A and B are shown apart, each in its own frame.
Chain A
């Protein structure tokens, strides 16, 4: 079964450092997402990406965050200068399109970010 792949599975970084989280969405999917989950809390939307540009973003997704699709397969989330409160599990997700059955989000296994 096709899956969304995320790397690294866990990253530990010092406050103020830049971090890049990588995702390989399902190959024929068109919409890509980043969500964040602070330990024990709900899954929070960060950003959606379609047709090589951001389509929606939340208040959490401030100037410290950026996303890119540098080639045909990877989808990255960059945090420029990490803060302690950025510690969370970051989930990448993708979905196919607008037709029925293609609305389902498939999540990756997540990248745990720990900021010290």
Chain B
């Protein structure tokens, strides 16, 4: 069963912040975040393996609440290059990732 992402779309001005949420109805082993630019392959951002884990990469960070079976991706001081579709992928200790429906992020100057 696929995870649910919210919001479906976000429009920001450069420098603004955004939060993208990902929740699952099943217990999660790990959560993966990817960004996809139009016409390109998804590119790995980060993976969270343990409940309570938080990670950061430049001004993009994420948290994983294992109990609530959800993860959030935080984009601070957004840049034009952050535009794209963000997907969370959840791993239920199986062999594959199941991706959410995606969140389209557009950063305007």
Question: A residues engaging B (CB < 8 A)?
Answer: 31, 33, 35, 41-45, 48, 50, 55-56, 91, 100, 103-110
Contacts and interface: CB of A to CB of B under 8 A. Distances in A.
B107 to A, nearest CB: 19
Interface string B58-75: 000000000000000000
Interface residues of B, number: 23
Contacts, number: 51
A50 B32 CA distance: 20
A107 B42 contact: yes
A56 B42 contact: no
6 closest Cβ contacts across the A-B interface? A107-B41, A43-B99, A48-B96, A42-B101, A55-B95, A48-B95
B47 interface: yes
Nearest to B46: A104
